[in-house]
Structure 1
Amino acid sequence: MPAPSELFVLGVWGLIFLVFIIKLFASIRLVPTKSAYIVERLGKYYTTLDAGFHALIPFIDKVAYIHDLKEESIDVPPQECFSRDEVNVTVDGVIYISVIDPVKASYGIVDYRFAAMQLAQTTTRSVIGTLDLDRTFEERDLISAKVVEVLDAAGESWGIRVHRYEIKNLTPPYTVKNAMEMQVNAERERRAVLAKSEGDKQAKINRSEGVKMEVINLSEGEMQKQINEAEGKAEEILTIANATAESIEKLASVIKEPGGENALRMQLGEQYLRNLQGLDKDSTRIVLPSNMTDFHQWMRNIGLDAK
């Protein structure tokens, strides 16, 4: 049977062996994709382990920092900011960053996440302080761009890259919010009244244009009617004149023939008698010359002398 001292020594060696085995297994590192392990040897930076299998020296090498190289988002807590017109607004946002230099991210700053969040808050306050309240709602892109610019400048020494900064909420005080809502409603009502007045104006213009076109069309129609009537009368007069001239020419040619003048006197005498008969159409009386037997007197009454 071993002595107690020997059992103690065996126990100590067994414990040392067990610790060595544990450290040996702990020195084997499997680094996942998009990750970086910072290894220190005897307390000093030694190397950076990329994705894959790595074996370290037990008791000498130690993984001091583990960094995720994927892009991550950091919420910026709400904070109160004062605009240039001294209105208090509450602003919160989110930062999207990624580690590009694991060594600087480990030794350049204690906590790059907290530092980026604090710098984003201070930059947001300074930018909003240069803007009026109305512009803060319109210039979100300007605020985001300024925060990204400042964080990028600081991130070079921190080993990080700021991809973008987004403002999630920009909340004014309740009283200011109500005033803004009343202003928006008033502007909306003003636009509605303006649109209605423009519609009424256009409707009146359209109606007046319609009346104007109607009057023009009527006047043009009346003018064309009068032109047509005048042309018709002129055509009628011309036709009558041509017919009269033609009849006179025929009458003159007939008179020149033998016996034509006597025939003309007979025809005029008949026409004279018909005219005398038509002097009193409403009665049965017939107006005759005083001397029915004096044919030559008839001819002289109608302007012709009987030969």
Structure 2
Amino acid sequence: MFIFTLVVLFIFFILYKLLLIVPMREVNVIERLGKFRTVLQPGFHFLIPFFDRVAYRHEIREQVLDVPPQSCISKDNTQLEVDGLVYLKVMDGKLASYGIENYRRAAVNLAQTTMRSEIGKLTLSQTFSERENLNESIVREIDKASDPWGIKVLRYEIRNITPSRKVIHTLEKQMEAERRKRAEITLANAEKAAMINVSEGERQEAINVSQGEKQKRINEAKGTAQEIAIIAKAKSEGMALVSAALALEGGHDAMNMQLKEQFIGQVGKILEKADISIVPAEMAKLEGFFEGMEQVTHGIKANSIKGERS
């Protein structure tokens, strides 16, 4: 019974060494008597017991490796703490086994050195604004160096860029000064625009006032001219009517009567307002006045008759 048990265990051991199932997520590197034989892909395989062995097992899925934080110096001599993530995939199991001792550690160290080198080519502001270009440069350099290792670097992502405390304090002051500068520029532009608007408004107001004054004077001049023309025409028509009335029979006497009435009325107004009394003997001079007025009337009538004949 003991011997049977040993035989069964030996058979199972032989089968364990003979049969190999490679999972879907990995490849196995097989050595025969210490020498590379083949790379087994996922599936069911047979091995020669005691001759063949699985020397290496490699994950063929995409792997994410954490790149620890490290100190870097930018182009403008600013100290930065930078960390990131590197994504890679095993493409050749043989090279990943024999081309490098530990491709994971080598990829992380290469990512660190490449990152320090690339950041040294950029200023502090460029490391923040050109992060995508920086990632592409690091991936390109790592992939070129890791090609003999049988791995493919798919991408690299910078996770954090942390300046030193002194740099952060300086950046905060710079940002505050920049915000203050922009605020002053905005206020200056606003004041400039306000002054321009006020001056434009005053200019337009002065133009409108001058145009209004000009139009007012033109209108007043036209009104005065029309008034003078109307008055002159009225006087002319009045003189013509007076001349026509004097030419009629009894016109002379009517004119004398009208002038006497106007004179008496004006004398009465003067006597009401004057402080000097007129002696009745002075009234005798009124006869001479009326005679003179009669002669003036005869002269106007003679002139009008001559004008009609001519």
TM-score by length of 2: 0.75
Q: Distance in 2 between matches of 1:129 and 1:233?
A: 90
**1:49 pairs with 2:41:** yes
Kindly report the root-mean-square deviation, in angstroms, between the aligned alpha carbons of the 2 structures.
Answer: 3.6
In the alignment, which residue of structure 1 is the partner of 2:134?
143
Q: How does 1:83-102 map to 2 (within 5 A)?
A: 83-102=74-93
Q: Distance in 2 between matches of 1:80 and 1:56?
A: 51
**1:290 pairs with 2:281:** no
CA drift at 1:75: 1.4
Percent identity, aligned pairs only, is: 37
Q: Distance in 2 between matches of 1:111 and 1:76?
A: 15
CA drift at 1:19: 1.4
Pick aligned residue for 1:40 from 19, 22, 30: 30
How many aligned positions are there? Answer: 295
Unaligned runs of at least 5 residues, structure 1: 1-6
**1:229 pairs with 2:220:** yes
CA drift at 1:270: 4.0
Pick aligned residue for 1:18 from 12, 30, 38: 12
The verdict on how the C-alpha distance between 1:295 and 1:219 changes in structure 2, with shifts beyond 3 A counting, is closer
C-alpha contact (below 8 Å) 1:38/1:45 kept by paired residues: no
In the alignment, which residue of structure 2 is the partner of 1:27?
20
In the alignment, which residue of structure 2 is the partner of 1:114?
105
CA drift at 1:233: 1.9
Give 3-state SS (helix, strand or coil) of 2:66's partner: strand
CA drift at 1:134: 4.5
Q: Distance in 1 between matches of 2:253 and 2:298?
A: 14
CA drift at 1:167: 1.8
CA drift at 1:78: 1.1
C-alpha contact (below 8 Å) 2:246/2:301 kept by paired residues: no
Give 3-state SS (helix, strand or coil) of 2:285's partner: coil
Indicate the structure with greater helix content. Answer: 2
Give 3-state SS (helix, strand or coil) of 1:290's partner: helix
CA drift at 1:124: 1.6
Give 3-state SS (helix, strand or coil) of 2:221's partner: helix
Unaligned runs of at least 5 residues, structure 2: 303-310
CA drift at 1:205: 3.8
The verdict on how the C-alpha distance between 1:244 and 1:48 changes in structure 2, with shifts beyond 3 A counting, is farther
